Amino acid sequence: MSTQHFTDLNFKKEVLGSDLPVLVDFWAAWCGPCKMVAPLIDELAKEYSGKMKIGKVDVDSNPKVATEYGVMSIPTIIFFKNGKVMNQLVGAARRPELKNKIEENL
């Protein structure tokens, strides 16, 4: 499965209502570190397909969700399980760090 796009409108259903744990990458088109993390997020979405839902929220287009979860700097990656925030990473994380967090939150 490829990376999903979460919005202010579908966030509750797709993330909070998900049966699977969810990784949400809060990003923006103008953010350099976000662009560095993007290919990694796409790879991990394929790798963990069926085990974890992985998607992105464009903070410029979806300010409501970003504000609700206190996203102050991007990229911010938040892990959700059963509708609750389990973990958070701020800044451009590397693959080993991201994989460890994913495994912790499965």
| Catalytic residue set | 31, 34
The pair phi, psi for residue 51, each rounded to 5°, is -110, -35
Is the separation of the CB atoms in 82 and 89 below 8 Å? Answer: no
Radius of gyration of the chain (CA): 12
Query: Beta-carbon neighbour count of residue 83 at 10 Å?
Result: 11
Please give the Cα distance from 11 to 46 (Å, whole number): 20
The 3-state DSSP class for residue 8 equals coil
Chain-centroid distance, C-alpha 73: 14
